[in-house]
Amino acid sequence: MPEELPSVLIIGAAPGAVGDVTSPYDGVRGLVTAEAASKVVHEQSDAIASLGHPTKLFLIDLESKTRDALHSLLTTNKFDIAVIGSGIRLMPNFLHEFEFVINELAHNGQGVNIFLCATFRDIFETFQRAVA
């Protein structure tokens, strides 16, 4: 029987909640639209899933009840790897959500290994480091 591949939970700020930004923290010159960021995030999530890794993309929108949803997800599923995006860590309005995510992963993550990615563009690269 083939060995099961590590499962991956990608957690980040919903691009629509962040909006269009100029993001000098990740070397971007000029404006990054929420639509463009969303496309990149989904492509990278799909690339991980295409390798056979069970993958869940969990985007936090400040307008919704994502805390309860994340708690439920972590208590009913086991993930081997959690990749946390840069938007939730670096956008000031997401600070409390980032703290909640870290605490929730520590308390209910069932031994999940946590990896932080530098930009929304390097989710796949961060995943590669996690499985290396």
In the chain, the domains with their CATH numbers are: 8-131 (3.40.50)
pLDDT confidence of residue 28: 53
10-residue mean pLDDT series, the chain (132 residues): 88 85 57 84 97 97 87 97 92 92 97 94 96 94
Q: Are 16 and 34 in contact (CB under 8 A)?
A: yes
pLDDT confidence of residue 22: 63
Rounded distance, CA 78 to CA 13, Å?
21
Strands 81-84 and 55-60: unpaired
User: Can you read off the two tokens belonging to residue 61?
Assistant: 């929108």
Give the number of other CB atoms < 10 A from CB of residue 42.
15
pLDDT confidence of residue 17: 84
User: Can you read off the two tokens belonging to residue 108?
Assistant: 């209910």
pLDDT confidence of residue 48: 98
